[in-house]
Amino acid sequence: MIGTRLDDVDEPRLIPSDRGWWFIGNQTWTLLKPEHVGADGELRPDVDGFLRSEGAYRERTAKSFSLTVLTSTACNLGCGYCFQNTGQDPRGGHRPPRINLRRLNTGTIDRIVDFTAERMAQAGLDRLYLLLFGGEPLLNPRGCLELLGRCAPLGLGVGAMTTNGVLLTRRRAVQLHGAGLRDVQITFDGSRADHDGTRVTHTGGATFDAILANVAAATAATGLRWNFRVNVSHHNIDRIGELFGQLDGRTDPDRCTFTFAWVGDSGIGYRNDLTRAQQVEDRFVEWAVEGLERGYRFVRPSMRTTCQICSVPGGRHGAVVNADGTLFSSWQSAGKPGMEVGHIDHGYLDPGSVPDRWVTCGYDYEQADTEVMAGFQDRVDGRILDYLHTTGRL
């Protein structure tokens, strides 16, 4: 398989911990002594040279083309904070106005496959990572299945899906897994009580138990792997720990990964009032440790990475395609009028002609000062690495 160098090189991280300093490189976690780092917070030259000689600074290369496709821009839920909402429900219910309705069909799939094959050839890549996205992708299950099948000859290595899980029945899970789907991300807004107050149907109905039942049935019937993203806000932080017990017996922990995510002020009319205090840092570490002790997987702290789709203008190593074939620079801008960066039928616009449209992932996801957030994440990751090292899991 050919690898092509990314224009943006991921940056190693050097973070303090109770045991010294952790150097996080490319698949490298090295515990350094306090004296290995100078008073300026920089590595000593001899330590830096040693790490380089050991390959800790390996250049990241694109080994596959990363394709995200919105199979449907509609959604069966009415979450008030969704970044695809264009306003709040004027009637005060759970039907907020959204981005324009689009649905993937066979003709567009044919053109997406042709477009992707051409881009992969230009990049010298023979493997494909496909993410089925929405809206809710399972509002168009036929489109999901057809796209997976059509992408197989392109060298489909991983088929993934981001779904709310409400429509992922056992039957659909079996069909999708058979067509090449391997990884599924589902978001929980905390434990049952908090989730059911946020992730609701258009009539305000709860969704937690339906999602859990679908995950349990799909786990029993397929080899799907799961990433449970848990949104953290002032609404749910006090009860997130209950989520583990509610999942017990419904999943295979060895096939499940937890990701805890700080919710930014992403939606119209939504605000997360959680403050970055020591107590919050403690909670993030506690959840990671409890998940690991229960046998769940946890993504190890990594380098500061760049998205291979949005970080290189022009879509050299990936693409985000709306259901009508329109190209966007990131999953968050997809489907939003005025953010188009091209079309599969005629390729990308010159990035220099649309500089305000070529945005990166999370561009409209308001957070506090980036340095403050980076410091918070460094402290959490340092403590998690200390735990992994102490327990022999690193």
Q: Does residue 259 contact residue 227 with C-beta atoms inside 8 Å?
A: yes
Q: Is the pLDDT of residue 328 over 50?
A: yes
Q: Does residue 13 contact residue 303 with C-beta atoms inside 8 Å?
A: yes
More confident residue, 59 or 115: 115
Q: Is the pLDDT of residue 8 over 50?
A: no
Mean pLDDT computed over every residue of the chain: 90
**299 band by pLDDT with thresholds 50, 70 and 90:** confident
**364 band by pLDDT with thresholds 50, 70 and 90:** low
**374 band by pLDDT with thresholds 50, 70 and 90:** confident
> DSSP labels for 157-217?
EEEEEE--STT--HHHHHHHHHHTEEEEEEEE-SSHHHHTTTS-BTT----HHHHHHHHHH
Residue 135: closest CA among 324, 306, 343, 356? 324
- The sign of the dihedral angle between the CA atoms of 202, 270, 373, 382 is negative
From the centroid of its chain, how far is CA 47? 33
Q: Is the pLDDT of residue 5 over 60?
A: no
Residue 27: closest CA among 3, 49, 50, 60? 60
Q: Is the pLDDT of residue 1 over 50?
A: no
| Start-end of H helices in the chain | 45-53, 106-123, 141-151, 170-179, 192-195, 208-221, 242-247, 278-293, 370-390
**309 band by pLDDT with thresholds 50, 70 and 90:** confident
Q: Does residue 362 contact residue 392 with C-beta atoms inside 8 Å?
A: no
Q: What is the mean pLDDT of residues 44-52?
A: 93
Q: What is the mean pLDDT of residues 178-203?
A: 96
Domains of the chain: 4-60 (no CATH), 64-305+363-382 (3.20.20.70)
Q: Which of 168-182, 226-240, 352-366 has the highest mean pLDDT?
A: 168-182
**394 band by pLDDT with thresholds 50, 70 and 90:** confident
Q: For 329-356, what is each residue's pLDDT tens digit?
A: 999 999 999 999 999 999 999 999 998 9
Q: Is the pLDDT of residue 286 over 90?
A: yes
Q: For 124-135, what is each residue's pLDDT tens digit?
A: 999 999 999 999
Predicted pLDDT at 273? 63
CB atoms within 10 A of CB 45: 9
Instruction: Give 53-84 as a 3 state SS string.
Output: HCCCCCCCEECCEEEEEEEECCCCECCCCCCC
Q: Does residue 303 contact residue 323 with C-beta atoms inside 8 Å?
A: no
Q: Is the pLDDT of residue 384 over 60?
A: yes
Q: What is the mean pLDDT of residues 281-287?
A: 93
Q: What is the mean pLDDT of residues 10-35?
A: 90
Return d(Cα 260, Cα 279) in angstroms, integer. Answer: 15
Q: What is the mean pLDDT of residues 209-226?
A: 98
Predicted pLDDT at 282? 92
Alpha-carbon torsion angle 229, 167, 141, 198, nearest 10: -50
Tell me the two tokens of residue 308.
């291979």
Q: Is the pLDDT of residue 256 over 50?
A: yes
Return d(Cα 253, Cα 225) in angstroms, integer. Answer: 10
Predicted pLDDT at 312? 79
**271 band by pLDDT with thresholds 50, 70 and 90:** low
Percent with pLDDT over 70 in the chain = 91
Whether the bond between 3 and the residue before it is cis, its omega within 30 degrees of 0, is: no
Residues 6+ apart with CB under 8 A from 249: none
**6 band by pLDDT with thresholds 50, 70 and 90:** very low
Predicted pLDDT at 4? 42
Q: Is the pLDDT of residue 392 over 60?
A: yes
DSSP state of 35: G
The SS3 call for residue 352 is helix
Predicted pLDDT at 241? 93
More confident residue, 374 or 172: 172
Q: What is the largest CA-CA distance in the chain?
A: 65
Q: Is the pLDDT of residue 76 over 80?
A: yes
Sheet containing 128-134, strands listed edge to edge, beginning at the edge strand earlier in sequence:
297-298, 256-262, 225-232, 181-188, 156-162, 128-134, 65-72, 318-321, 326-328, 342-343, 347-348
